[in-house]
Amino acid sequence: MADPRSSIDSRRDQTFPVLEPAAIARLSRFGNPRRYEAGSFVVRAGEKTEGLLILLSGEVRVTPHGSRDQPFVTYGPGSFLGELAHLSGRPALADCIALSDVDGIMIESPRLRDLMVQEADLGERIMRALILRRVGLLERNIGGPIIIGHAGNRDVLRLAGFLRRNGHPYQCFDPDEDSCAKTLIEQFHLSPSDLPAVLCANGQILHNPTERQLARCIGLLEAIDPNLVHDLAIIGAGPAGLAAAVYAASEGLSVLVLDCRAFGGQAGASARIENYLGFPTGISGMALMARAYSQAQKFGAEIAIPEEARRLDRLESDGQGGFLLRLVENETARARAVVIACGAEYRRLDVPDLEQYEGSHVHYWASPLEARLCSGEDVVLVGGGNSAGQAAVYLSGVAGKVWMLVRGTSLDATMSRYLCERIAAQPNIEVLLGTEVTGLEGHGGVLEAIRWRRRETREEMRQQIRHLFLLIGADPNTDWLAQSGVLLDSKGFVVTGEGAGDIRLPFETSLRGAFAIGDVRSGSIKRVAASVGEGASVVSAVHAWLAETRPSAGPVAQLKKESAHG
């Protein structure tokens, strides 16, 4: 097995660079002097970070939360202290303690983003280091909240999956195997009914929280200012939404991005994307989308996850034709323009008792988390598109056998050729065409067997299998738009452009100032690259709308609009 530290060790110089005096001099204009006495905390795990600290003298030891006996790194003069949390001012994942008197330069988070833009070469070095440090924490499974619960429990998997898909470190302690779990159970007087429990870095203990409660506790989600009017609100943080956020924020617009689950959308769940331009060896969907997520934050986009838009209303009385987004828990957000990029929701099989096994035995994506659950076991995967093909190939590397069930009579009609060839080359993938699942067997939420039937012969088969993967497409996530006045087609996708009514801006819906891009848009090409392209292109239309509704900013908006074409 590969050393879990190999990635960070092989790129140590990039992960923990030491800045030259000339570089520090260039960066000093972005910060202010700070001094810490020996033994004091530069920052505590769970507390909000101020920004990036460049050390001029002294040493600081970094020990991630929950890993007191595993120091992550010790920084000395010329080093800078921080990781991705410091970019957005979110709570620290580690205790940073001054081992001696420390003098440094503190670059606060807003100024850090200015640095990234104004000092491109140094900004690149710093950004790469922040990302690699987060990767190091993820690879070593240190830092972040501690989940206490039994492995395989659906709520443990739900919470772990939420954190993993949002690129947030965490640790799982199983009471049956970990002495640390037993210690925490005794310390916090937890009963079996309290599990799973989550210990946040700020010391707060949560009993089987919702994803929203967990995100609040770890500082991933903060309250949105209801009085602040953003230039642009983007609903959905998939490839289209993140692309729009990157381009809009980089051009100076104030951007708010909302997503009810995680960044990356369906693309983030892809084990490997091999036909995305510029990555000839392929890249995992999580890695690609994590880069886009960090890039949007680098340019100052405000990203709220998990935050769900429940309704979109036009504010005719505000004089600017703005919008009010009604969120969960009676919260609201305001924006002058809206981009709808909420994608689609995974389709579910119409078989009895499916919900009993969802989250623990029935899965809608194939990530390392699910791969660990079914290691060495036979699995059933339903679907015939590219996502299903990518998942089948990925699972074939960990599962005993992959039974791939496809309703159609051929893979060639629905899947890229390179994936068809790769599937055919895997000895432990068996493709059953014209086949559908007819039933699930189990009890107590534990799946024990799956039944399926060949549609042509009506022959039925039963296999003892504990894990079912469903990648059978998705339906547009547009129910929340029912009362908004946004025109939908017969399948529920958002109509844009000329089809939406009178002369419209590109990607504009029937509601002036509201745009739709990506998979949720009627007629869109369901590919990652196409969604990214639409996300980049829609920003020009947003600039045109803002110039139309805010004449005083017209020349600036026009200049930004023209620059977008460069």
pLDDT tens string for the chain (566 positions)? 334 445 677 889 999 999 999 999 999 999 999 999 999 999 999 999 999 999 999 999 999 876 666 788 999 999 999 999 999 899 999 999 999 999 999 999 999 999 998 999 999 999 999 999 999 999 888 889 999 999 889 999 999 999 999 999 999 999 999 999 999 999 999 999 999 999 999 999 999 999 999 999 999 999 999 999 999 999 999 999 999 999 999 999 999 999 999 999 988 878 788 888 999 988 988 999 999 999 999 999 999 999 999 999 998 765 555 999 999 999 999 999 999 999 988 889 999 999 999 989 999 989 888 999 999 999 999 999 999 999 999 999 999 999 999 999 999 999 999 999 999 999 999 999 999 999 999 998 899 999 999 988 999 999 999 999 999 988 899 999 999 999 999 999 999 988 777 778 999 999 999 999 999 999 998 889 999 999 999 999 999 999 988 754 433 444 444 444 44
pLDDT of residue 32: 97
pLDDT of residue 562: 43
pLDDT of residue 319: 54
Which residue has 């620059």 as its token pair?
Answer: 563
**Upstream peptide bond of 306 is cis (omega within 30 degrees of 0):** yes
pLDDT of residue 563: 42
pLDDT of residue 22: 97
pLDDT of residue 554: 39
**CA-wise closest residue to 260 among 446, 462, 480:** 480
**CA-wise closest residue to 435 among 404, 472, 407:** 407
Query: Residues 406-441, buried b or exposed e (16+ Cβ, 10 A)?
Result: beeeebeebbbeebbebbeebeebebebebbbeebe
| pTM for the whole structure | 0.87
pLDDT of residue 238: 96
pLDDT of residue 438: 96
pLDDT of residue 68: 62
Q: What is the DSSP string of 7-30?
A: HHHHTHHHHS----HHHHHHHGGG
Which residue has 């110039």 as its token pair?
Answer: 547
**CA 41, CA 37: separation in Å to the nearest integer?**
9
The SS3 call for residue 207 is strand
pLDDT of residue 298: 93
pLDDT of residue 556: 40
Question: What are the structural domains, with CATH classification, of the chain?
Answer: 6-140 (2.60.120.10), 146-218 (3.40.30.10), 229-345+477-564 (3.50.50.60), 354-472 (3.50.50.60)
**Dihedrals φ, ψ of 254, to 5°?**
-85, 125
